[in-house]
Structure 1
Amino acid sequence: MFSRERRTRLFDGCQAALVWLAVLASVVADREVERLALAAMAAVALAAAFVALCPAAPAPSLRDASPTTREDESHVL
């Protein structure tokens, strides 16, 4: 189970990866690279769909919540 914030960041990362892979597939002239980019797009789309459909983890109670450090805030994934 992923927290809501983590699901959002992962979904946004998948969207960014899909955009870059689409650009790669449309710019490259090599047919094999284009197929590989399209296959990677399918895999990323499946990962994004899984994250979107995965149930959210329950929010931690105030007693269980630990203080957030600056390192935690800068961590991307």
Structure 2
Amino acid sequence: VVVRADPEIVPSLRHMRFARVQQVSAPEADGWVRVDILFEIEQEALAQVLGFGPRIAVIEPVELRDLVMQSARTVLALYGK
């Protein structure tokens, strides 16, 4: 899984269950970093990404990014927005 993340959450990414950070890039122009993460369990990837809220964005796989967007829409619908 490739994500863009606020560099302040990288230590937390390194301590996730069922996952291993494989690479962290130098900061990009906006200060965020690209992080390659290997998840042992696909569903754990979705749960972890959602847990970091707006401090992380999935780049690939597209399927995971789509699941994150679908989950966000479901939460918005639940709260009537």
Does the pair score TM above 0.5? no
Q: Point out which structure has higher relative CO (alpha carbons under 8 A, 6+ apart).
A: 1
Greater percentage in helix: 1
Please say which structure displays the higher CA radius of gyration. Answer: 1
TM-score, normalised to structure 1, is 0.32
